[in-house]
Structure 1
Amino acid sequence: MAASNPAAISPVWAKYQACISKPFVPRCLELESILANSSQKDLSSLLPYILENIFGCGPEPGWPLDTLSKSHGVEFDVVTKFLGPEGPLLNFVYKLQLDTYLTYEFPFASLPGPTRHMIEDGSLPMFYVNKLQYQGYSKPVLTLGAFEFYMFHFCHMLVCPSWQSKQLNWNNMADVVYPFLLDKYLHYFLPLNKKSLPKFPLSPASVRSSMMQSPTSTKHSPGSGTQTRSRSRLGLLKANLLSPQKSHIQSPSAEKLEAEIWWSETFVQIVAEFWLHQNTHDVERGITTHSLESFMPSNNHVRLVRLLLKHLHYFVNSVEPEIVASPYSTAETAPLDEFKRSLLPMLLQKKIYCYLRHGFERWPLDSSFRLMLETWLTFIQPWRYKDPENISQQHKETERVDDVWFPFIRDNFLFYSAMFEEFVQRAKRMHLTSLQHAYIIFRVAKVFSLPGFPQMLREVERLMYNSGYRQHQDLGGSCIAPDLTAILRVQISDLERPDFQYINLFGRQTDAEMQHLLRQIHAAKSALEATVQEPEKKSEKSGFAAFFDMSSYFEDNSKAYGDMSVVEVKKVINHLEQTVTHFCQLFGMKPNEQAMFIPQSPGDTSRISGQRSMIGNMSLGDQTSLMNTSMASLPSTPDHKMTSHGPELTEAGRFQLMNGLKKFDLTYQGDPDLQPIRSFENKTLVRVLHKLSDCLNKMFHTEMERLCSRPDLIGKMSQVYLSAPISPSKVPSSPIQREVFEQLTRPRISLRFLGSYQTLIYLIIVYFALKYLAGFGPIGYLMFLVLCTIVYGLFRALTLNKLKDIKSN
Structure 2
Amino acid sequence: MQSHILNVLNLPLMDKLLQLEILFERCTLRQIQELFPLIVHSMFGINGHVLGWGLRTTTMENAPHYFNRLQHFLGVHGIWMQICHKLLNETTKFEIDINLLPRKFIGMLQAGPMFYADLINIDILKHQITTLSLNAFDFYIFHFALYALQPLHTINPIAMQIHNERSKTIYQLLSAEYLENFLPFSPDARIEPVNFSNTIKAPQPLPAQTLQPMRQPKYLKLPSSWRNSNGVVISSSPGSGNTSPQSDSSGGASGRAHVWRSESVLHFFVDIWLRYDIESEHHLPSSEYVRGVRTLVKQVHFFANAARIDHTPLCALRKLSVSMVKGRIYAFLCSLIDRWPLDSSLSVVLELWLSYIQPWRYTLAAVNHHGGINYQPEISRYFDGFIIDNLIVYTHIFMQLLPRFERLDYSVYRNAYMLHRFAKMFAQHDLIGRLQQFERLHSGNTYGFDSPQRQVNTLNRSHNSSYNAQWNPLHSSNIPKLFSEDMHMQIESFLYVISMARNTVLSNIRNLRGEIAERQRSEGYLKNLFKKFMGKSTQDEITLCEASRIPEVLRQSIDAFCRTFNVDMGNLSMLEHDTLPAEPTPPASISGKSFSFFDANGSLDTSKLTPQQMSLNLSNIHPTIDPAMLPIMTNEIKPLVRALHFISESINNKFGTQIAAYYAREDFCGKLTRQLLCPPMTEQWFGKNHGNADLFERQVPARVSLRALGSIPTLLVLGCALCFGQLWCGAPIVGLLALCALFLCYSALLAMLS
TM range (shorter): 0.5 to 0.7
Q: 1:204 aligns with which of 199, 202, 206?
A: 199
State the one-letter code of the partner of 2:289: H
Aligned to 1:412: 390
- 2:142 maps to 152
Which residue of structure 2 lines up, in the alignment, with residue 106 of structure 1? 96
User: Does the aligned pair in 2 maintain the 1:638–1:657 contact within 8 Å?
Assistant: no
Q: 1:416 to 1:184 in 2, by over 3 A?
A: same
Contact 2:74 2:81 in 1 (8 A): yes
1:792 corresponds to:
none
1:299 to 287, 290, 310: 287
Kept after mapping to 1: 8 A contact 2:432/2:564: yes
Rounded Cα–Cα distance in structure 1 between residues aligned with 2:28 and 2:351? 48
Aligned to 1:511: 488
Taking the aligned partners of 1:467 and 1:222, their CA distance within structure 2 comes to: 34
Tell me, yes or no, if the aligned pair for 2:406 and 2:612 is still in contact at 8 Å.
no
Q: Write the distance in 2 (CA, Å) between the matches of 1:30 and 1:535.
A: 60
Q: Which amino acid aligns with 2:186?
A: N
1:155/1:550 Cα in 2 relative to 1: closer, same or farther (>3 Å)?
closer
Which residue, out of 181, 191, 195, partners 1:188? 181
The reply to whether residue 638 of structure 1 matches residue 629 of structure 2 is no
Q: Give SS of 1:169's match.
A: helix
Question: 1:456-485, CA deviations, whole angstroms, 9 ceiling, x for partnerless residues?
Answer: 2222223323574699xxxxxxxx997994
Contact 2:512 2:540 in 1 (8 A): no
Amino acid at match of 2:321: L
> Do the aligned partners of residues 553 and 380 (structure 1) sit closer, same or farther apart at CA in structure 2, a change above 3 Å counting?
same
**Higher RCO by CA contacts (8 Å cutoff, separation 6 or greater):** 2
Deviation at 1:271? Answer: 1.4
Does the 8 Å contact 2:122/2:131 carry over to 1? yes
Pick which of 168-177 and 415-424 moved more.
168-177
- Counterpart residue identity of residue 377, structure 1: L
- 1:426 deviates by 1.3
- SS of equivalent to 2:482: coil
Counterparts of 1:300-379 in structure 2, within 5 Å, are 300-321=288-309, 333-345=311-323, 347-379=324-356
Partner of 1:91: 82
Task: Map Cα deviations across residues 624-672 of structure 1 (whole Å, 9 max, x no partner).
Answer: xxxx9xx99999982379xxx999xxxxx96889547999xx9xxxxxx
- Pick closer, same or farther for the CA change 1:258–1:294 going to 2, 3 Å: farther
Cα deviation, 1:520-544, whole Å, max 9, x if unaligned, reads: 1122122223334578999xxxxxx
What amino acid maps onto 1:96 in structure 2? L
Is structure 2 residue 113 aligned with structure 1 residue 115? no
The SS at the match of 1:142 is strand
Shift in CA distance, 168/311, structure 1 to aligned 2, threshold 3 Å: farther
Q: Deviations over 1:281-323 (max 9, x none)?
A: 8xxxxxxxxxx3355210111122222222222222233437x
Instruction: Describe the shift of the 1:510–1:82 C-alpha distance in structure 2 as closer, same or farther (beyond 3 A).
Output: same
Contact 2:273 2:293 in 1 (8 A): yes
Structure 2 Cα separation of the partners of residues 249 and 27 of structure 1? 42
User: Superposed, which structure 2 residues align to 1:233-252 within 5 Å?
Assistant: 250=248
Q: Distance in 2 between matches of 1:57 and 1:407?
A: 43
Corresponding residue of 1:276: 274
Report how far residue 334 of structure 1 moved.
3.5
Equivalent-residue separation in structure 2 for 1:33 and 1:657 (angstroms)? 63
Task: State the one-letter code of the partner of 2:183.
Answer: L
CA apart distance, 1:443: 1.0
SS of 2:314 mapped into structure 1:
helix
Superimposed CA distance per residue, residues 146-176 of structure 1 (whole angstroms, 9 cap, x where no aligned partner): 2221112212222223455332436998964
TM-fit CA distance, 1:444:
0.6
* Distance in 1, Cα, partners of 2:214 & 2:589: 64
- Verify the 8 A CA contact 2:409 2:615 in the aligned structure 1: no
Relative distance call for 1:519 and 1:143 in structure 2 (3 A) is same
Secondary structure in structure 2 of the residue aligned to 1:133: strand
Partners of 2:177 and 2:482 in 1: CA distance = 39
| 2:261 matched residue in structure 1 | 263
Q: Report if the CA contact (8 A) 2:115-2:204 is conserved.
A: no
1:41-97 deviations in whole A, cap 9, x for unaligned? 333222111111222122244212234445756554443232222333322322333
The structure 2 residue matched to 1:464, chosen from 442, 465, 468, is: 442
CA offsets per residue over residues 743-792 of structure 1, 9 Å max, x none?
Answer: xxxxxxxxxxxxxxxxxxxxx999xxxxxxxxxxxxxxxxxxxxxxxxxx
Name the structure 1 match of 2:678: none
Q: Which amino acid aligns with 2:494?
A: L
Contact 2:445-2:451 at 8 Å conserved across structures: no
Tell me how far 1:511 sits from its aligned partner: 1.0
Q: Which amino acid aligns with 1:64?
A: G
Q: Is the 8 A contact 2:344 2:414 kept in 1?
A: yes
Structure 1 residues 126 and 509, CA gap change in structure 2 (3 angstroms) = farther
TM-score with structure 2 length normalisation?
0.63
Give the Cα–Cα distance (whole angstroms) in 1 for the partners of residues 500 and 356 of structure 2.
32
**CA gap 1:335/1:221 in 2 versus in 1, 3 angstroms:** farther
Q: 1: CA distance between counterparts of 2:587 and 2:497?
A: 18
Partner of 2:285, secondary structure, is coil
Q: Which amino acid is 1:270 matched to?
A: F
Distance in structure 2 (CA, Å) of the matches to 1:52 and 1:193: 34
Structure 1 residues 394 and 569, CA gap change in structure 2 (3 angstroms): closer
3-state SS of the aligned residue for 2:148?
helix
- 2:476 counterpart of 1:502: no
SS of 1:589's partner is coil
**Higher Rg:** 1
CA distance in 2, matches of 1:51, 1:339: 28
Q: For 1:671-682, what aligned pairs fall within 5 Å after superposition?
A: none
Larger mean CA deviation between 139-148 and 305-314 belongs to 139-148
Aligned to 1:38: 27
Q: Could you say which residue in structure 1 is the equivalent of 2:417?
A: 439
Cα distance 1:216–1:637, how it changes in 2: closer, same or farther (>3 A)?
closer
Task: Tell me which residue corresponds to 1:650.
Answer: none
What letter is aligned with 1:365? L
Match of 2:723 in 1: none
CA-CA distance at 1:255 after TM superposition = 4.2
* Correspondence 1:452 to 2:430: yes
Q: SS where residue 143 of structure 1 aligns?
A: strand
Residue pair 1:28, 1:82 contacting (<8 A) in 2 also: yes
Distance 1:280 1:465 in 2: 31
Query: For 2:538 and 2:563, how far apart are their aligned partners in 1?
Result: 31
Contact 2:492–2:567, Cα closer than 8 Å, also in 1: no
For 1:638 and 1:527, the matched residues in 2 are separated by 16
Q: Which amino acid aligns with 2:592?
A: D
> Per the alignment, do residues 595 and 559 of structure 1 end up closer, same or farther by CA in structure 2, a change over 3 Å counting?
farther
SS at match of 2:569: coil
User: Are 1:401 and 2:379 counterparts?
Assistant: yes
Give deviations 1:355-379, integer Å, cap 9, x for gaps.
Answer: 2222111111111111111111111
- Any idea what the Cα deviations from partners look like across 1:725-758, whole Å, max 9, x if unmatched? xxxxxxxxxxxxxxxxxxxxxxxxxxxxxxxxxx
Question: How well do the aligned residues superpose, as a CA RMSD in angstroms?
Answer: 5.0
Is this contact kept in 1: 2:211–2:327, CA < 8 A? no
Other-structure match for 2:160: 167
